[in-house]
Homo-oligomer: A and B are copies of this chain.
Amino acid sequence: MSLATILSLNQYNIVYNVLSFVIATMLAGFIGFLLIRSSLPAKHRNALTLGTLVMAIADYHYFRIFNSFTAAYHIVGGKYVPTGIPFNEAYRYVDWLLTVPLLLAELVTVLELTPKESKVLISKLVVASSLMIALGYPGQISPVHSTARTLWAAASSVFFVYILYVLFVEIQKSLDKQPEGVRPLMFTLRALLLLSWGFYPIAYILPSFVGGATGIVVSQVGYSIADVVAKPLFTYFVYKVSKLKAEVEEK
């Protein structure tokens, strides 16, 4: 998929403002998680340490995505026309390569596993998610209605389904081990996870249905919303679980 399509003022502005919104959100998430992290007992800080890193990495990438987007267009006769400088789709995939393992590790910190179980689980998930992302990228940069795009997506989806299945099972298994009161939070966490992860392939596939400029807009907005849910919101709920556990322990 290429961005070399003329955008109307409105279309350009929507993407522009959504990207800026995410920059501000990740910045606030970064500072916020940093501050509330230190209010947790040392033992329970791991999830927020990871979440803080996710915020920093994502903010860096959204800043770059924003700049790449504004460099890719200039205003000509009341419309935004491609400048010839290509929009760099790869930033998102590089971002995921770094943030997805960190987010998975965040989740694992609250699953009440033994260190050994954690290690095995994280390893499996990191390998699978790296494959999911690496296989998705060639599709992302293929033409919208090409077979290549569909095939790469299919290959990527195998690992996508595998990860969600594993996580679903593991969260389920952990429910019994959770202290009182944490259970509803685990359900929310699972819902957030499925919801936000599901958004990424949808944002990927949308340009095939809504073509041209609209496709670009819905895809960028879709990825951005998914990132806000999967990163700061998800981390916030992991924090709530960590905090509850710390409180239960203290008693």
Contact = CB atoms under 8 A, between A and B. Distances in A.
Interface of A: 9, 13, 16-17, 20-21, 23-25, 27-28, 31-32, 35-37, 39, 42, 45, 49, 52-53, 56-57, 60-61, 64, 75, 84-86, 88, 90-91, 94-95, 97-98, 102
Contacts of A60: 23-24, 27
A85 B49 CA distance: 41
B57 A98 contact: no
B57 A94 contact: no
B45 A31 contact: no
Q: How many copies does the complex hold?
A: 5
A145 to B, nearest CB: 21
Contact of A24 (B42, B52, B57): B57
Given A27-B60, A60-B24, A90 B13 contact: yes
A75 B20 CA distance: 27
Contacts of A9: 86
A42 B97 CA distance: 33
27 contacts: A13-B90, A16-B88, A17-B88, A17-B90, A17-B91, A20-B91, A20-B94, A21-B97, A21-B98, A24-B61, A24-B94, A24-B98, A25-B98, A27-B56, A27-B60, A28-B57, A28-B98, A28-B102, A31-B52, A31-B53, A32-B49, A35-B49, A35-B52, A39-B42, A75-B84, A75-B85, A75-B86
